[in-house]
């Protein structure tokens, strides 16, 4: 693809390339689902972003009534990650 002068400096496709579920791409970042080997911090880092929020998920849908969780979950469950610039 042609380089764009004023495009974002992150690459959400890197998350998909790592075998993770990419749910949404926005002008400011990516939304993806982490897995049991990567927390949201590591998932977002793949795209050159940081995790701004994470929450329990069911596939690419936020779990209803789920509490917001820490981006570096220690129990290594999959979470819905909101990735953005620092």
Cα 13 from Cα 17, distance rounded (Å): 6
- The predicted model scores a pTM of 0.83
Tens-place pLDDT, residues 4-56: 445 568 999 999 999 999 999 999 999 999 988 899 999 999 999 999 999 88
| pLDDT exceeds cutoff 60 at 79 | yes
70 pLDDT band (50/70/90 cuts)? confident
Cα 5 from Cα 22, distance rounded (Å): 24
Tokens of 50: 């940081």
């Amino acid at each position: 693809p042609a380089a764009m002068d004023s495009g974002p400096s992150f690459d959400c496709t890197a998350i998909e390339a790592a075998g993770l579920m990419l749910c949404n791409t926005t002008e400011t970042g990516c939304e993806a689902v982490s897995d049991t080997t990567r927390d949201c911090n590591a998932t977002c880092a793949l795209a050159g972003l940081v995790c701004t929020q994470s929450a329990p998920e069911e596939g690419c849908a936020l779990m209803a009534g789920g509490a917001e969780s820490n981006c570096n979950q220690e129990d290594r469950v999959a979470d819905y990650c909101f990735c953005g610039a620092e």
